[in-house]
Structure 1
Amino acid sequence: MADPTALTFFCLMLPFLAAIFAPMAIGRVGHGASWVLALAPLFAFIHFLTFLPQIADGGVVTGGYAWVPSLNLSFSWFLDGLSLTFALLITGIGTLIVLYSGGYMKGHPQQGRFLSFILLFMGAMLGLVVSDSFLMLFVYWELTSLTSFLLIGFDHEREAARRAALQALVVTGIGGLSLLAGLIFLWNMTGVTQLSLLVHVDDTLRDSPFYLAALLLLLGGAFTKSAQFPFHFWLPNAMEAPTPVSAYLHSATMVKAGVYLLMRLNPVMGETAAWEILLPFFGGITLIAGTALAIRQTDLKLMLAYTTMASLGLLVMLTGFGAPHAVEAAVLYLVAHSLFKGALFMVAGLVDHEAGTRDVTKLGGLRGDMPITFAAAVLAALSMGGLPLFLGFLAKEEIYYALAHGALRSIVFTLVGIVGNGLMFVIGFAVALKPFLGPRVETPRHAHEGPLLMWLGPALLAALGLFAGILSGVTHRFVSTPMASAVAGEPTVVEITTVPHIGMPLLLSIVTVAFGVFVYLQLDRARAMMRHLLDAIGSGPDRGFDHFVSGLVRMSVAVTRVVQPGRLEVYITVSFILVASALLIPAIVYDELPDVPAWPSDVLFHEWAFFLLAAVGLFAVLRASDRLTAIVSLGIQGFAVAVIFLLFGAADLSFTQFMVETLSVVILALVMTRLRLSPRDHRPRRQMIIDTVIAVACGLGFTMLLIKTTQLPFNTALTEFFNAYSKIIAHGANVVNVIIVDFRGTDTLGEISVVMITGLAVLALIRVRLRNPLPDTTAAKAEVAGEGERP
């Protein structure tokens, strides 16, 4: 029998492996490659499906591998009702999306690249929802942002696609940094680095003085990823991506990552005033804003995109509401939404693919041409509208059962729920009925039913929404109840059935449907009213993002002009001022100046001679009449210092100094032969005085640092360590070499890499010079000489 830990790890890696071979599969197999590639998520789906009985009985599945045990870092996963449901949605819907993409992208020259991106995203999202380690969660979280950037900007030749991809990356990337800070707060507040251990910290988080800071940081990550107001604007713009991306990322997976995080944290961070104020407030605003903006649209994908935003707001509102049955309502609606919204997005793509347009005002009468698509659309809309027998009906009833209470807060959010659900009813049926009913409208393409690859996904998802509602007992046993228990942090049983129960929830459902039907019948008027209202409000966060980016660019240009003026002498001057400040200011402020050293009495005559020679060389540099003399004098000073190193026992350092000085003199002399060497110094006296002060300050600072260091007691710990272990560990007798090659191996490798890259850059410049010689050598020399005359 296969090791379940190894098999789970293989399933987590399987989408990434499939992504590597996707372009090759398209090239070799062609149109049928999507069937082959779909086997990867299907295998993972079946594997996770085997955990259902264990999870339904209240168990969990854990596994993983230690990465850095000393820091308690691991590659670990944790499967309970919440993460398993997400894993099944990601792999199950992912299988259908891969097949759908095969039909939608048929004949596209970049189909292999597209499927590779889809599978990469699938692996990232799957890793995110099963992650137990904080570090693993963050890495996968950021990976979803990167892969969604690739998918949204897939059609990179269009400016709108590039802008949408960049916008999504910036917003969710900033949110990712906020999440990282929040996870660090959790680590420091609780001492644990795994999500599964957070449930055992009792009220440590809630009672911490840093609770609010941690909550705000985590909400920053969740709200940006799940498109909550005011970070919602990236989600509709992401519809620039091909429809399979919209159906997968922005209805069933990525955009629910923030909701998943909030649900995961609910047992340990919920039931506080901040949690129950912030989540319902922003969730409610997002719900109303999303549905209102959806009414305005005529593009099928944009209509669905804004209702996705609204649905995410509803989920956040329910997760933070704090009332009994709110969690049950949230988990039911999450699953129902994944099914009906994925189906409707695929329907929109089918209509666009076959009819050549997504504009609902230019569509009609397609029922006879696309009967299977029409049937799938109607079934999905019935679930989205919350009508009986469908899983959406169970979710809506549970929503009203959780919200409808006598308190003013409950009344307000109940009204928000009615308006939001009613307008989503309108959009659902507008997408499902408007393109198919009524008189036949001439479309850019002659519409007909799409291929099996394209209608299989929406048909299955829509049918699942129906069967999940009819077989509610099975749904609750294996999905709803385990998921609700995980979100609530305690055993919770979901019992609602499709049989209508007389009471307030049913009455509110009737009111919602009546409101939805009324608006649907007046949809054109409602669209016009909403358009006028939004035009009166003016530009929103989307335009604000453009202003923000534009302002950021202008500020960057202004700062760059100050700190990067393009003058080498400015960079050198600033660098040396900072060095002098770092050396002198702390020593003076904290009274760490060295004691005045005693005059040495044991220095031999020949040693004094070389000290004097070094001083003479320095004086010669300062008094040199031309640059070549200054270079040679600098070499004399350097050789004298190298001899001093040799006299005091540092033979290896002396050898290095000899090599550096020799190469420096040779290279500088060769460079200077390309310039005019006669001018000595063109700096004005004022500039020379300033430079002298800076140079003396740097020299004085280093001198005092070295004197202070020698006056401290010598710590032999490192010496003893290297003497003891160089031979044993690195098998080397030369301690210095062992330190450089073994103990500092990575640092040395970095230094070698820098030298190699520099050499390659020099070689590239030489080759460019050889390939493009100056036409007039005399003019070139004059130009170089002219540059040499500049101060």
Structure 2
Amino acid sequence: MTADSQWLTFLALMLPFAAAALAPFLTKLLRHNAAWVLAIAPALMFLHFSGFLDPVSEGRALAGGYAWIPSLDVDFSWYLDGLSVTFALLITGIGTLIVLYSGGYLNGHEHQGRFFSFILMFMGSMLGLVVADSFLTLFVFWELTSITSFLLIGFDHSRSGSRRAALQALIVTGMGGLSLLAGLLVIWGATGASSLSALLATGDALREAPLYLAALLLILGGAFTKSAQFPFHFWLPNAMEAPTPVSAYLHSATMVKAGVYLVMRLNPVLGETVAWETILPVFGGTTLIVGTFLAVRQTDLKLMLAYTTVASLGLLVMLTGFGSHKAVEAAALYLVAHSLFKGALFMVAGLVDHETGTRDVTRLGGLRSAMPVTFAAAVLAACSMGGLPLFFGFLAKEEIYAALGFASGWSAALTLVAIVGNGLMFAIGFAVALKPFLGAPVETPKHAHEGPVLLWLGPLVLGGLGLIAALISTVSHRLISSPMSSAIAGEPVTVTISTVPHIGMPLALSLVTVGFGVAAFRMLGRLRGVMASVLNAIGWGPDKGFDQALAATTKLSFGVTRIIQSGRLDYYMTATFIALAAALLIPMIAFGEFPAAPAFPAMPFYEWIVLLIGVIGVGAVIYARDRLTAIVSLGIQGFAVALLFMLLGAPDLSFTQFMVETLSVVILALVMTRLRLSPTDHRPTSEKIGDVLVAGTCGAALGLMLLRVTQVPFNAELSEFFAANSRVIAHGRNIVNVIIVDFRGMDTLGEIAVVMITGLAILALVRIRSAKPAKAGQES
């Protein structure tokens, strides 16, 4: 990648964030025309990444970036091949149409500028995710998509449903993000690769690593939560609380495919194992069936599409994990087809809701004459979703059945799952596209009419692209399908399927699917009732389980807080000292690190006097008749230590110790002025015995630790370093002062700040104490 190309790519990655910053101001300034101006940003990004189609179609992969944290070997880098370029084009191309659609859908909304800002930030996050090369860059953008989707789902924050859906999506995908981070760290440790490009060059290193299974499960934890795989599927339909532009963009074409992107990207290094080819098809197939069955139950247009999106994501995961080149080709074709037809149908659902005031399919009908352009876009998208000939969805479906077939019992089972899932998606797709428009006109909350160009432009373009891409399949495969399939497979793959039906098993299975789909469409009302009865009989589900888990976590946190935060200082002090003693003694016991018995040295008489002063101080504290005496006596031990420092040749430490002890006594006395200082505390003998045991254990633990430390051979490296460099670097002869002021200057500053803040807090307490009697006297 040339320097100019690298710089332009960096600008393209930053452009949506710059547009997001300007969006509120441009919306206020340009009002109705803001969408046209803001759409220029994703359009320019689309043109930029289109320039990489020819290089990646030739089998080249382009890398670039800049050093981010050189000391940790972390770069802000990107990796462009058939997979990432395809995703980048979908994100920016559909993103351009979504920005325009949002301009019409939220026209006149008081927070339209904020919405534009959120959607553009999400666009930049998703784009950064799919082109990221370094693990850290990937994770940062992964988490940014969760944060920005939280803002978009909860856009209408005045409604409790929106707030709940946003929080649910954030928690589920956030937990998955932590799993992804752990997986990336495991991969980094197992292979030494800190970027995707380096990882893809390691071959079988990860598959042969002892930590392969751990890495696989952690990565799939991130991918499955992001792409709503069963049992984490529940957050995606709930996210339909967001405005329709969000549903059309995040939850059909972009964010929910981030997990699919991840498994496709890592297929060359994690795939071709029994675990990979078992876990992905099982969870993907289950998600496909669960999603389609739940879609049949719905009457809301957006929820019908949302559950089929869950099903489609399951189909993509199942195909990616099947383990053949044909399955990889099918996954690549279906991903592109799904982005086009599902984005179009979501926008159709929003347009119908915008112009009629309802999304309930049972309350809609006869809109064909009132909304002819919308009807045309819906039919185009439904034909591709149903896999009818001449559409890109047909190519994907044919390749799916060519990949699965009936070669074994396993593939036969997955083929049956695909037939049932595709057939029910056929029924739902045409239910969304036909039922609101055909039949006798139905009275709706709003008088129905065709929407403005900003609303129907997006679905018409995407629906038309599903047809055009299939008609020029040779070009589509050369630029998109083959490079993408090659990147997923990790070796060159050529896609050749065309719109001309070929007699064989795939076509026969397609006809069976269409027949099943037509039958399901005709009986949709009856199937809806059956599914409602089944779901009512089951009752509990992951969505309800999420609420129960959240409530249980809250209760547990409350209970634990009540236990460990009782509000009694003596409990806190006791727990702290017990933890200290345990932390010191348990390692000594576990690893046999007790010190050897030291030889008792001969001490001069004045050292005996200092020791005696310390013992007298301890006795004075214990047997003090009032609190003030006990507080003053606390300083005796500190003064004894200060005398030892002075006698052993450390006058600066001695002076510091004298000051600290004096201030401690004074400050404690000031604080205790809020209590009566004259009486003593009368406590039962059992409490005194407990305190003696805790205090004695802590003292013994600290004493043993200090003895053990002194018996370790002295390492003079630091001493020699400071002795050699204090004069040279810090220009000071007093090594202790140089260490405190220069080498550890930030520590010293922090300590001073702590002392200052403590002093201010104590001053405030004293002033409050002195102010209350005065106020009471004034009132009297």
Matches within 5 A, 1:165-314: 165-314=166-315
Give the aligned partner of residue 634 of structure 1: 634
Code of the residue aligned with 2:169 in structure 1: it is A
Deviation of 1:759 (Å) = 7.7
- What CA distance in whole angstroms lies between the structure 1 residues aligned with 2:163 and 2:189? 39
What amino acid maps onto 1:777 in structure 2?
A
Residue identity (%): 68
Alignment coverage as a number of residue pairs: 779
Kindly indicate whether the alpha-carbon contact (under 8 Å) linking 1:100 and 1:244 is maintained by their aligned counterparts in 2: yes
Change in 2 beyond 3 A, CA 1:259/1:662: same
Per-residue CA deviation, residues 210-257 of structure 1 (Å, 9 max, x unaligned), is 322322222111111111111111111111111111111110111111
Give the match for residue 648 of structure 2: 648
**1:128, CA displacement in angstroms?**
1.2
Partner of residue 709, structure 1: 709
Residue 746 of structure 1 deviates from its aligned partner by: 5.9
Distance apart, 1:408 and its partner CA:
2.1
Matches within 5 A, 1:176-575: 176-575=177-576
How has the CA–CA distance of structure 1 residues 709 and 144 changed in structure 2, closer, same or farther, with 3 Å as cutoff? same
User: What SS does the aligned partner of 2:186 have?
Assistant: helix
What is the CA-CA distance between 1:591 and the residue it aligns to? 4.0
Partner of 1:785: none
| Structure-2 residue corresponding to 1:696 | 696
User: C-alpha offsets along residues 581-624 of structure 1, whole Å, 9 cap, x if unaligned?
Assistant: 2223433454433344444446473x554444343333322222
Give the whole-Å Cα distance in 2 for the aligned partners of 1:205 and 1:313: 25
Greater mean deviation of Cα atoms: 577-586 or 265-274: 577-586
> Take 1:617 and 1:351, find their aligned partners in 2: how far apart are those partners?
85
Deviation at 1:129, TM superposition (A): 0.9
Amino acid at match of 1:567: R
Structure 1 residue 372: Cα displacement = 1.9
Task: Give 3-state SS (helix, strand or coil) of 2:206's partner.
Answer: helix
Corresponding residue for 1:98? Answer: 99
The separation in 2 between residues aligned to 1:779 and 1:611, in whole angstroms, is: 52
Question: Whole-Å Cα distance in 2 between the matches of residues 207 and 746 of structure 1?
Answer: 47
1:570-581 matches, within 5 Å, as 570-581=571-582
CA contact (8 A) 2:671 2:762 kept: no
- Compute the displacement of 1:553 (Å): 2.2
Q: Kindly tell me: are residues 385 and 431 of structure 1, through their superposed partners in 2, closer, same or farther at Cα, counting changes over 3 Å?
A: same
Counterpart residue type for residue 684 of structure 1: P
In the alignment, the residues of structure 2 paired with residue 300 and residue 642 of structure 1 have an alpha-carbon distance, to the nearest angstrom, of 80
How far the C-alpha of 1:742 sits from its partner, in A, is 5.4
SS of alignment partner, residue 206 of structure 1: coil
Answer yes or no: is the 8 Å Cα contact 1:190–1:201 preserved in 2: yes
Distance change >3 Å, CA 708–CA 282, structure 1 → 2: closer
For the structure 1 residues 586 and 506, does the alpha-carbon distance in structure 2 shift closer, same or farther, using more than 3 Å as the test?
A: closer
**Distance change >3 Å, CA 775–CA 498, structure 1 → 2:** farther
Counterparts of 2:582 and 2:7, CA distance in 1: 56
What letter is aligned with 1:648?
L
Whether the 8 Å contact between 2:325 and 2:489 is mirrored in structure 1 is no
- Residue 775 (structure 1) shift: 11
When residues 347 and 658 of structure 1 are mapped into structure 2, their CA distance, relative to the original with a 3 A threshold, is farther
When structure 1 is superposed on structure 2, of 149-158 and 570-579 the one drifting more is: 149-158
* Partners of 2:353 and 2:359 within 8 A in 1: yes
Q: Flag the 1:456–1:660 CA change in 2: closer, same or farther, 3 A.
A: farther
- Deviation of 1:166 (Å): 1.7
Tell whether the 8 Å contact from 1:339 to 1:465 is kept in structure 2 after alignment.
yes
Matched residue SS, 1:66 = strand
727-736 or 673-682: bigger deviation: 727-736
SS of the residue aligned with 1:424? helix
Structure 1 residues 744-781: Cα deviation after superposition (integer angstroms, max 9, x where no partner):
466566656766777888899999999x9799838999
Q: How far apart, CA to CA, are the structure 2 residues paired with 1:4 and 1:53? A: 14
1:633 alignment partner AA: S
> Any residues of structure 2 matched to 1:774-789 within 5 Å, and which?
777=776
1:625 maps to 625
- The residue that corresponds to 2:673 in the other structure is 673
Q: How far is 1:188 from its partner?
A: 2.4
Moved more, 569-578 or 174-183: 174-183
Q: Letter of the aligned partner of 1:631 in structure 2?
A: I
Q: Using the alignment, how far apart are the partners of 1:94 and 1:767 within structure 2?
A: 61
Instruction: List runs of 5+ in structure 1 lacking aligned partners.
Output: 782-791
Question: What whole-Å deviation, never above 9, does each CA across 1:679-704 have from its counterpart, x for those lacking one?
Answer: 21122121112112211222222223
Contact persistence 1:165–1:238 (CA under 8 A)? yes
Q: 2-side partners of 1:760 and 1:358: how far apart?
A: 61
Matches within 5 A, 1:747-758: none
How far apart are 1:92 and its partner, in Å? 1.5
Distance in structure 1 (CA, Å) of the matches to 2:372 and 2:130: 37
Tell me which residue corresponds to 2:66: 65
The 3-state SS of whatever aligns with 2:68 is strand
User: What is the CA–CA distance in structure 2 between the aligned matches of 1:555 and 1:444, rounded to whole Å?
Assistant: 46
Structure 2 segments unaligned to the other structure (5+ residues): none
Structure 2 counterpart of 1:788: none
Distance 1:759 1:306, change over 3 A: farther
2:27 alignment partner in structure 1: 26
728 and 454 in structure 1: CA distance in 2 versus 1, 3 angstrom threshold: farther
Q: Distance in 1 between matches of 2:748 and 2:100?
A: 50
How has the CA–CA distance of structure 1 residues 431 and 688 changed in structure 2, closer, same or farther, with 3 Å as cutoff?
same
Number of the residue aligned with 1:583 = 584
Q: Secondary structure at the match of 1:512?
A: helix
Residue 731 of structure 1 deviates from its aligned partner by 6.0
1:343: Cα distance to partner?
1.0
Task: Give the direction of change, closer, same or farther, for the CA distance of 1:603–1:215 in structure 2 (3 Å limit).
Answer: same
Alignment partner of 1:204: what SS?
A: coil
Is residue 133–residue 196 contact of structure 2 (8 Å, CA) maintained in 1?
yes
My pick for the range that moved more, 609-618 or 466-475, is 609-618
Secondary structure at the counterpart of residue 207 of structure 2:
helix
Distance 1:17 1:760 in 2: 44
1:628-677 per-position Cα deviation (integer Å, ceiling 9, x unaligned): 12222223443343343234333443343333223322222222222211
Deviation at 1:314, TM superposition (A): 0.7
Letter of the structure 1 residue corresponding to residue 202 of structure 2:
V
Question: What's the secondary structure of 1:63's corresponding residue?
Answer: strand
SS at match of 2:499: coil
1:186 partner amino acid: I
Distance 2:33 2:174 in 1: 36
Contact 2:595 2:708 in 1 (8 A): yes
Distance 1:112 1:730, change over 3 A: farther
Preserved contact between residue 670 and residue 766 of structure 2 (Cα < 8 Å):
no
- Matched to 2:666, the amino acid is V
Given the superposition, is the C-alpha separation of residues 200 and 749 from structure 1 closer, same or farther in structure 2, using an over 3 Å criterion? farther
Q: 1:92 corresponds to which letter in structure 2? A: G
> For 2:78, what is the secondary structure of its paired residue?
strand
Q: Which moved more, 1:492-501 or 1:104-113?
A: 104-113
SS at 2:628 equivalent: helix
Q: Supply the AA of the counterpart residue of 1:260.
A: Y
Cα distance, 1:283–1:732 mapped onto 2, change above 3 Å: farther
Contact 2:134 2:195 in 1 (8 A): yes
Of stretches 571-580 and 480-489 in structure 1, the one that deviates more from structure 2 is: 571-580
Superimposed CA distance per residue, residues 548-580 of structure 1 (whole angstroms, 9 cap, x where no aligned partner): 222222222333333232322111101101212
**What is the alpha-carbon distance in structure 2 between the residues aligned to residue 758 and residue 47 of structure 1?**
57
* 2-structure distance, mates of 1:628, 1:191: 63
Q: Which amino acid aligns with 1:372?
A: V
Deviations 1:104-134 (A, max 9, x none): 2222222222222212221221111111112
**One-letter code aligned to 1:533:** V
Q: Structure 1 residues 638 and 748, CA, compared in 2 at 3 Å: closer, same or farther?
A: closer
TM-score (norm 2): 0.94
CA distance, structure 2, for counterparts of residue 310 and residue 763 of structure 1: 65
Give secondary structure in 2 for the equivalent of 1:302: helix
Counterpart amino acid of 1:242?
P
The answer on whether the counterparts of 1:340 and 1:384 sit within 8 Å (CA) in structure 2 is: yes
